[in-house]
Amino acid sequence: MGNLSIVTIIIIVANVLISYKGFGDYSFFDKYKFQVGSVQRGEKIRLFSSAFLHVDMQHLIFNMLTLYFFANPVLAYLGTVNFLIIYVGSLLFGNLLALYFHKNEYHYSAVGASGAVTGILYSAILLRPDMSLFLFFVPIPIPAYIFGIGYLLYSIYGMKKRVGNIGHDAHFGGAVGGYVITLLLAPWLFREHLLMIVLLAIPIVLLYVLRKSGKI
């Protein structure tokens, strides 16, 4: 895991400060959250700003802890600039997928860094598929790629069944963003981790097929 890098600290501090402002100022929160109707009317800044707002402290802490655990492998392999490209690219990809799936729901809204953080998580899995994850409710380590595949499959289920008050589409989009951008930035992965690339692609292909068939 290592020490926190300066870029990770800056991202966490920005999320904490902006989220805290949103906790106590509803007009600020409402102005910068992701909302389909507002984005379609031209307020594109919401596609970016919403990723620095959170519903509550628990939501904020969970996202920042996930970023803390998975930022360093990406930084170590790809460097600060590419890390930021993956973070921002995943953030935007997640919100664009949410916009696509909810384009006719003008009042649909969402906030949170989950898309960006999930992109970093998937980048780390691609770069270090030998990693093991320790989940709070599972007493044994889980291979990172198993978690990655399972998470995307659960996101598809959540999108189909609308499980909970969770932006499953933004999570999925962020994961796909992290997956695609990392492969573009590190094509050597096709040589060294081809099996992992194929396995992690399965849920992405499944979502495409389900969407084309009208089942999602």
Domain ranges of the chain: 6-212
Distance CA 177, CA 96 (A): 10
Token look-up 């997956």 returns: 179
Cβ neighbour number for residue 149 with a 10 Å cutoff = 18
E strand spans, 52-158:
109-110, 132-133, 142-143
187-200, pLDDT tens digit by residue? Answer: 999 999 999 899 98
pLDDT of res. 157: 82
pTM of the model: 0.90
- DSSP annotation string for 35-53: EHHHHHTT-TTHHHHGGG-
Distance CA 43, CA 40 (A): 7
Q: To the nearest whole number, what is the mean pLDDT of the chain?
A: 89
CATH number of 6-212: 1.20.1540.10
pLDDT of res. 66: 86
DSSP H/E element including 198: helix 194-212
Distance CA 146, CA 90 (A): 21
pLDDT of res. 191: 95
pLDDT of res. 44: 97
102-119, pLDDT tens digit by residue? Answer: 999 999 999 999 899 999
Q: Is the pLDDT of residue 86 over 50?
A: yes
Report helix, strand and coil shares of the chain as percent, to nearest 5: 70, 5, 25
Single-letter amino acid code for the residue at 95: N
